[in-house]
Amino acid sequence: MHNKTIKELSALLHAKQISSTELTRHYLSRIEASGHNAFLHIDPELSLAQAAAADVRLAEGTAGPLTGVPIAHKDIFVTRGWRTTAGSKMLANYVSPFDATVVERFNNAGMVTLGKVNLDEFAMGSSNENSAFSPVKNPWDGNAVPGGSSGGSAAAIAARLAPAATATDTGGSIRQPAAFCGVTGIKPTYGRVSRFGMIAFASSLDQGGPIAQTAEDCALLLNDMVGHDVRDSTSLTPEQGNLHEDFTRELNQPLTGLRIGVPSEYFGEGLASDVEQAVRAALEQFVKLGATLVDISLPKTSLSIPTYYIIAPAEASSNLSRFDGVRYGHRASEYKDLQDMYKKTRAEGFGREVQRRIMVGTYVLCHGYYDAYYVQAQKIRRLIADDFQAALLEKCDVIMGPVAPTVAWDLGDKTNDPVANYLADIYTLSTSLAGLPGMSIPCGFGSGEKNAKRPVGLQIIGNYFAEAKLLNIAHQYQQVTDWHQRAPEGV
């Protein structure tokens, strides 16, 4: 049952071959028996109440395609009645009085919330080891990281603890954990999915999206996720192109004549040979499907790391100023005066990586350094976006390459070296800085004794609003390969 896709589960629910209540119980018992630390909280009573409501809709004939299908929410989307921690001690006991727009939309669609899943604290990280509630274990190999920051979302899908999960991507956090866990994820064009109720990390980059087993499932989820929201000031309007589309409409288009840009910068020094092999094999598969490969260059790729690690911390330092012990979450129990209360509260509530980002962000924004760092970074951000436009308007329809330079690394391997973590983001950051949609689909495994069980992801990047195209490309690949159907041993 748990190996079924959303599409298949939806068919079974509509045919009354299974009830949402049975399905929900099945996943809840899997979650309770699992040892991956993917889920931070479950609440069977709340889940089963939603499942019962979904069963009524299914019986009445008012159900939509997602009604009764269970979903796990990244614990950065606020949920009424459930704790929302953002992976931080700061919010360890926080219960939001309202639902994030994304959660509200899935609730209205009749989906059943299975629980809240683990993440790096405030979504800052690439390995899930920055979670205040212990890291998630990669279901493929308990010694490996699941990727981050949406490690809980990706691991939940890989371990078949949920058929669907929400996630967020600021610099790669949907694509990289999807790659490390061998599942499918898509980060939409910036501004298509509402950020309302998605706890802010870097507001000009943060974007929600789905993780599931297949591209087709991601399309079904995006149908309900995307759309203008007046409560988010950066949400794109229909006039700006954020239309309600059916993301499944192009899934079956043939790929004949598709021009795939292959950036030389994504295959250079630093790319592990086993990852390169799997990605190149996937590219060959696309040639068999009728596509042509075009060599392209994205010359500013190497600048994406310094640019991102100025802009993201700058925005984070501002966004996180609200956690002051007065308005939300944790407050130090003993303090001398107001200043002392702020200091102790923030020193106790935030983990080391979050503190590091606040320090960096405050530094690059301060008078005297603002022009030298922040303004420069904004200018380079534009140049990075221009690189993509030069390629996507003149040379190719989409761009493909690896998601990350290596397969998942060992837990503990990079915990004392923040820069090593940052370097692993090299292939995902530029897409985020440019605001483009990007996808990760499973395309093989590493090689050698250790890596042979660790998945490799193929990244597919398109121009603004090209989500339906990306999903079409991914779906066609998944019709002729079975990487997305593989599950870790024992699942």
How near is the Cβ of 382 to ligand GLN at its closest, in Å? 20
Judged by beta carbon, residue 68 or residue 171, the one nearer ligand GLN is: 171
* 74 flagged as catalytic: yes
How near is the Cβ of 179 to ligand GLN at its closest, in Å? 13
Given 7, 74, 116, 300, the catalytic residue: 74
How near is the Cβ of 185 to ligand GLN at its closest, in Å? 11
Judged by beta carbon, residue 68 or residue 172, the one nearer ligand GLN is: 172
Judged by beta carbon, residue 124 or residue 392, the one nearer ligand GLN is: 124
Q: According to CB under 6 A, which one of 68, 110, 171, 402 is a site residue for ligand GLN?
A: 171
How near is the Cβ of 334 to ligand GLN at its closest, in Å? 33
Interaction of residue 194 with ligand GLN, rule CB under 6 A: no
Judged by beta carbon, residue 20 or residue 304, the one nearer ligand GLN is: 304
Q: According to CB under 6 A, which one of 65, 68, 70, 125 is a site residue for ligand GLN?
A: 125
* 333 flagged as catalytic: no
**Residue tagged 């700058």 (tokens):** 314
10 Å CB burial of residue 132 (0-12, 13-18, 19+) is buried
**Residue tagged 């996943």 (tokens):** 27
CB-based burial, 413-443: b 16+ in 10 Å, e otherwise:
bbbeebeebbebbbbbbbbbbbbbbbbbbbb
Given 10, 173, 194, 440, the catalytic residue: 173
Judged by beta carbon, residue 21 or residue 173, the one nearer ligand GLN is: 173
Structure tokens at 215: 């591209």
**How many chain residues interact with ligand GLN (CB under 6 A)?**
13
Interaction of residue 224 with ligand GLN, rule CB under 6 A: no
The count of other CB atoms within 10 Å of the CB of residue 182 is 32
Interaction of residue 170 with ligand GLN, rule CB under 6 A: yes
**Residue tagged 């493929």 (tokens):** 140
Task: Specify the stretch interacting with ligand GLN by CB under 6 A; choose among 166-174, 177-185, 277-285, 454-462.
Answer: 166-174
Interaction of residue 124 with ligand GLN, rule CB under 6 A: yes
**Residue tagged 């984070």 (tokens):** 316
Looking at the chain, the number of H-run helices and the number of E-run strands are 15, 11
SS3 375: helix
Whether 94 contacts 38, CB under 8 Å: no
Task: Specify the stretch interacting with ligand GLN by CB under 6 A; choose among 124-132, 211-219, 373-381, 394-402.
Answer: 124-132
* 173 flagged as catalytic: yes
Fill in the per-residue mask, 85 to 114: x = in contact with ligand GLN (CB under 6 A), - = not in contact: ------------------------------
Structure tokens at 209: 């999206």
Judged by beta carbon, residue 50 or residue 127, the one nearer ligand GLN is: 127
Residues 416-435 that bind ligand GLN (CB under 6 A): 425
CA distances from 138 to 160, 166, 337, 456 (A): 12, 18, 44, 13
Whether 11 contacts 30, CB under 8 Å: no
Interaction of residue 312 with ligand GLN, rule CB under 6 A: yes
Judged by beta carbon, residue 123 or residue 298, the one nearer ligand GLN is: 123
Whether 237 contacts 28, CB under 8 Å: no
- In angstroms, the CA 151 to CA 174 distance is 9
Q: Output the DSSP codes for 150-210.
A: SHHHHHHHHTTS-SEEEEEESSSTTHHHHHHHT-EEEEPPTTSB--TTB--SSTTT-EEEE
10 Å CB burial of residue 449 (0-12, 13-18, 19+) is exposed
Q: According to CB under 6 A, which one of 75, 121, 141, 169 is a site residue for ligand GLN?
A: 169
Residues 135-154 that bind ligand GLN (CB under 6 A): 149
Q: According to CB under 6 A, which one of 5, 24, 126, 476 is a site residue for ligand GLN?
A: 126
Residues 359-418 that bind ligand GLN (CB under 6 A): none
Given 88, 96, 127, 149, the catalytic residue: 149
Q: Output the DSSP codes for 415-477.
A: TT-HHHHHHTTTTTHHHHHHT--EEEEEEEE--STTGGGSEEEEEEE-STT-HHHHHHHHHHH
The count of other CB atoms within 10 Å of the CB of residue 386 is 12
How near is the Cβ of 142 to ligand GLN at its closest, in Å? 22
Interaction of residue 184 with ligand GLN, rule CB under 6 A: no
Q: Which residues here bind ligand GLN, judged by CB under 6 A?
A: 123-126, 149, 169-173, 201, 312, 425
Q: List residues with catalytic annotation.
A: 74, 149, 173
